[in-house]
Amino acid sequence: MDSTKKVSEKVEIPIIIEKTEQQRTMSQILQLVNMDSFTDLGILADTSFQKDDSSANEEVTFVVQESEFTLSKDVLKAKSALFAELFIQKPSSRYILTKVKPKVFSTVFEFIKTSKISSELSEDAAEILETAHKLEISSLKDISEDYLANNLSNDNATSVLLLADQTNCRQLKLAVMQFIAKHCPNLVDSNEFQRIVQHRPKLGLELFKFVQNCLQ
């Protein structure tokens, strides 16, 4: 009986170790993905302002060029999964954003605080969508996506299509391809289309097939 128990224990140990290694690997992958997002936004933690995280209402300040934006850490974590991870990986009460325009972050920050946007997105819609995607603020991403879909033109169709593909906005991507097929099918013979093929070969092929199917 004793020998049977020992054999059983030896069989179970590798399984436990294997699960632990899988968990570590997944954790490392998630950390690398988040670090890429931190880099894309140019987020730098000001470690001189690092504080104890024991206060539930601790405020966090983001510095964007000459502008500062301050809000409760709890509110920021609730609205943005990336901010929640940022506070764990790079703890501080003050962060500097080097790759976001003040006007764009002001709109994003207003939405985080109020869940509303007081002014029209206009020419900043694409950058707001990209920032909302990186910060994982899905509701703001949806608003930006709808605005762009309703304000397509021959001049912005290519850039919006590339953005939609990059940010995985499927509805916006479909809206742009339908717009191109209806209003500017000759785009597939233009330099603009070559730019799409160069940067996103699969997207270029997908657009070409979509336009051809619509014209049949």
pLDDT tens-digit series, residues 184-216:
877 777 787 888 888 889 999 998 899 888 887
Helices (H) and strands (E) in the chain, counts: 10, 4
Q: Is the pLDDT of residue 15 over 60?
A: no
Q: In angstroms, what is the C-alpha Rg of the chain?
A: 23
The arithmetic mean of pLDDT across residues 102-119, rounded, is: 92
Predicted TM-score of the model (pTM) = 0.77
| Of 143 and 1, the one with more pLDDT | 143
Q: Quote the percentage of the chain above a pLDDT of 70.
A: 79
pLDDT of 13 higher than 70: no
Which residues, other chains included, contact 87 with Cβ-Cβ below 8 Å and sequence gap of 6+? 53, 60, 73, 76, 77
SS (H, E, C) 112-126: HHHCCCCCCCHHHHH
| Distances from the Cα of 80 to the Cα of 83, 132, 136, 172, 209, angstroms | 5, 9, 6, 22, 37
Share of the chain above pLDDT 90, in %: 52
- The β-bridge partners of 44 are 96
Higher pLDDT among residues 88 and 38, named by residue: 88
Q: Residue 124 pLDDT > 70, yes or no?
A: yes
pLDDT tens for residues 20-43?
444 444 344 334 344 566 787 888
Mean pLDDT value of segment 7-13: 44
Stronger pLDDT, 89 or 35, i.e. the higher one: 89
Residue 17 has pLDDT above 70, yes or no: no
How does the average pLDDT of the chain come out, rounded? 81
Q: Of 162, 165, 113, 166, which is closest to residue 140 (Cα–Cα)?
A: 113
pLDDT value at residue 178: 94
> What does the pLDDT read at residue 42?
85
Q: What is the pLDDT of residue 51?
A: 56
Average pLDDT, stretch 167-188? 90
Closest to 194 (Cα-Cα) out of 162, 168, 154: 162
pLDDT at 111: 96
Query: Does 57 score more than 70 pLDDT?
Result: no
Pinpoint the alpha helices (H) of 91-190.
Answer: 102-114, 125-135, 138-149, 157-166, 170-183
- Of 27-36, 74-83, 149-158, 193-202, the poorest mean pLDDT is in 27-36
